[in-house]
Amino acid sequence: MQDANPTLATGHMAALPKAPTGIEGLDEITEGGLPKGRPTLICGSAGCGKTLMGVEFLVRGILDYNEPGVLMAFEETADELAANVASLGFDLKQLQANKLLRLDHVHVDRSEIEETGEYDLEGLFIRLGYAIDSIGAKRVVLDTIESLFSGFPNQAVLRSEIRRLFRWLKDKGVTTVITAERGEGSLTRQGLEEYVSDCVILLDNRVINQITTRRLRIVKYRGSTHGTNEYPYIITEDGISVVPVTSLRLEHVVSNEVVSTGVAGLDDMFTHRGVYRGSSTLITGTAGTAKTTLAVSFAIEACRRGERCVYFAFEESPEQLIRNMQSVGMDLRPFVEQGLLFIEASRPTLNGLEQHLVTVHKLIKEIKPGTVIIDPISNLVSVGSISEVRAMLTRLIDYLKVQGVTALFTALISGRSATQEMTEEGVSSLVDTWVHVRDLEGVGERNRGVSILKARGMAHSNQVREFVVTSHGVQLLDVKIGPDGIVTGASRLAQSIQEQAQIIANQQEVERRDRELERKRRVLEATIANLRTEFESVEEELRRITLEEEHRQNSLTQSRQQIARDFANRRTDKSSDSPDNA
C-alpha cells in the first residue's frame, strides 16, 4: 500500500514558498520573506510606517524580483502616495507608465452607505481582480483595511466579509500585504484580521527619553520558523531598514594578519607586534587619559597602509578633531583630502541607537573601509538603556567581524575604585583586545599609564607602561623599577638622576682604579727598570771578571808555553856544546 503522504514517509517537509520583501533585515528574520500567495497583516499605530512598508514591498518586488504589483489605497490618492514616497527614491508614476504597478484609490463614504443601507465587497473583488489581471500582478497591498470596513455597522456581516476577503486573496494566489490600525487591547480594530492572516507583523513607535524608537515583531507566521524578538527598524532616505538583534551567527572568517596600532611601544606589548586584522579593540580609561589620541594613531596607521578608515566622533567636530591632533604631531587633513579618512561627527542624542547602527551599515557599504573607529561608545548611554546599548553594540561588533573590518572603540570609565576597569556598556567581554589607560598619581602630579587587560589569541605584556603625549604623538617610556615597584613621573626622574649619579660614581670609581693601576704599573715598570739596570751592572761586572780571568789564563798559558820553549832551547844548546860533538 502506498503511503498517502510522501513527505511524512521520507521525513522531509516541503519548505513553505516565500516571497522576498527586499526590505533590509526583514527577509533575514522571516527566513526568506513573506508567505507566497498568502495574506500578511501589518498592524500598528499612526506613524509606524505601515504604508511605507507596503509600498516598499511592492517596489522592491518590481525592481528586484520582476513581480508586478497592485496598490489599492482607501485613504490617500495615487498622486498623494506617489508624492509621499518620491523622497525615498520610489518613482511610482514611472512604474505605472511601464505597466509594472497599478495604483487604485477607492473612496468609501459612510454617509452614502447609511442612506442606501447596502454594502458588500463584491465590487471590490471585481475592481481588484481587474487590476491584478491587467498587469499580471504577483503582489497586492491594501492600505488600510479599517477604511474599507467602516461601512459595516453589523459586526457579524463585518467578520464574514473579512473572512471572505482573505479567502478571495488566497484563491487568487497573490502575495498580499494588508495594513491595519492597532486596536484597544487587540492588534487590530476589529480583532479578527490577525486570526485569518497567515503572517502578522506588529509595528510599534515609542518615545524613550525624548528619543523616538521603532520596533518590529513577528507575532505569528504559519508554516515557518521566524525571529520572535523585537527588532528595531528605522525609516531612512533609502526606505525601511530592520536591524536583527540575534540573527547573526558567529560564523565569520578570521585572519592571521597582524596590523599595527600606530604606537610602536604599544605594539611591542603584543607578542605579534599588533592586533589581528578584522578583530575588535576597546580602549577604556578616565577623562584625559589620551583615549582619542590613541584612537587617532590607530586611524592614521590604517590610512598609511592605504586603507580607508571611518571615524565616528561623538564629542568633537571634524575641524576640532583635526586641529587638536595637529598639536601632537598628527595631521589628519591630508588623509581626509585623499579620501582615506572619513570623519562622521554628531551628538549621540541626534538619533536613536538604531539610526546610528544603520548609519554605520550604510557608510560601510558605501565606503568599504578596512578600519572603523567609534569614539566614544560610552556616550551612547544617553540615547538608550544599558541593555539597549549593549544589544546595539553586540550587533555592531558582529556585523564588523562579518565584514572583516578592524574596529576600535573608546569608552569613558568613571570612578576611582577597582571597578573602573568594567565598562558601563558591558562590551568588554565582547571585544577581542582590551587596552586600559589610567592615571598614575605620584607626589603632586598625574601621569598616564597603559596596560593590556586581554588579547584573544595572542600573548601580551602584563606591565603597566607609562606613556607621554609629545609633539610627535604617543611615546611609551621604558619601565623604571624602584624600591617599591614601577616608578613614574618625578619619581622616574629622581630614579633616573639617581641611576645616572650611580653610573657617574661607578665610572669615577673605574677611572680611579684605572689610575691606581696605571700608577702601580709605572712603579712596577720603574722597579723592573731598576732591576734590569742592576742586572746589567752585575752582568757587566761578571763579564769583566770573566774577561779578566780569561786574559789571566791566556797570559798564564802563554807564560807556560814560553817557559817550555825556553827550556827546550836550553837543552838544545847544551847538546851542541858537549865533547862528543867536538
CA 134 centroid distance within chain: 52
Q: State the alpha helices, DSSP H only, in 251-315.
A: 264-268, 291-304
For 506-552, write each residue's pLDDT tens digit: 888 898 888 888 888 888 888 888 888 888 888 888 888 888 888 88
Q: Is the pLDDT of residue 57 over 50?
A: yes
Which is more confidently placed, 573 or 502?
A: 502
Name residue, grid cell 615597584: 485
Flag whether pLDDT at 497 surpasses 90: no
- Highest mean pLDDT: which range of 144-153, 175-184, 254-263, 422-431: 254-263
Helices marked H in 386-488 — which ranges? 386-402
**What local confidence, expressed as pLDDT, does residue 366 receive?**
87
Specify the pLDDT at position 67.
92
Instruction: Give the model's confidence band at 115: pLDDT under 50 very low, under 70 low, under 90 confident, else very high.
Output: very low
Return the SS3 of 52.
helix
- 239-274 residue pLDDT tens: 888 866 544 556 677 889 999 999 999 999 999 999
Q: Which amino acid is at 111?
A: S
Q: For 57-82, what is the mean pLDDT? A: 89
Nearest to 300 by CA among 349, 343, 242: 343
Query: What pLDDT was estimated at residue 323?
Result: 93
Per-residue cell: 301: 596607521
Q: For position 420, what pLDDT does the model report?
A: 44
As a whole number of angstroms, the distance between CA 479 and CA 86 comes to 63
pLDDT at 259: 92
pLDDT digits (tens, 9 = 90+) for 116-174: 345 567 778 888 889 899 999 999 999 877 776 665 566 666 777 778 888 888 888 99
Sequence-distant (≥ 6) Cβ neighbours of residue 139 within 8 angstroms: 19, 57, 58, 61, 67, 68, 69, 70, 174, 175, 176, 177
pLDDT at position 307 is 92
**pLDDT at residue 390, as a whole number:** 79
**pLDDT at 385 > cutoff 60:** yes
Q: How many residues does the chain have?
A: 582
CB atoms within 10 A of CB 104: 14
DSSP string of 198-227, one letter each residue:
SEEEEEEEEEETTEEEEEEEEEEETTS---
Q: For residue 187, what are the contacts with CB-CB under 8 A and spacing of at least 6? A: 41, 43, 180, 193, 194, 200, 202, 219
Is residue 3's pLDDT more than 50? no
pLDDT in tens, 550-579: 888 888 888 888 888 888 887 777 666 655
> What is the per-residue pLDDT across 462-479, written as a single tens digit (0 to 9) for each?
888 888 888 888 888 876
44 backbone φψ class: left, alpha, beta (φ>0; ψ -120 to 50): left
Give the burial string for 29-38 (b: 16+ CB within 10 Å, else e): bbebbbbbbb
pTM: 0.65
Quick one: pLDDT at residue 8? Answer: 37
Contact between 310 and 344 under an 8 Å Cβ cutoff? The reply is yes
- Distance between CA atoms of residues 118 and 127, nearest Å: 18
Dig out the grid coordinates for 153 from the structure: 455597522
Phi/psi at 270 (5° precision): -100, 140
- Cα–Cα distance measured from residue 41 to residue 144, given in angstroms and rounded to the nearest whole number: 10
Out of 5-14, 177-186, 214-223, the most confident range is 214-223
Residue 406 has pLDDT above 90, yes or no: yes
Report the mean per-residue pLDDT for the chain: 80
Q: What's the confidence (pLDDT) of residue 225?
A: 82
High-pLDDT (> 90) share of the chain, %: 23
Taking residue 1's Cβ as centre, other Cβ atoms within 10 Å add up to 3
- Asked whether the beta carbons of 453 and 436 are under 8 A apart, the reply is yes
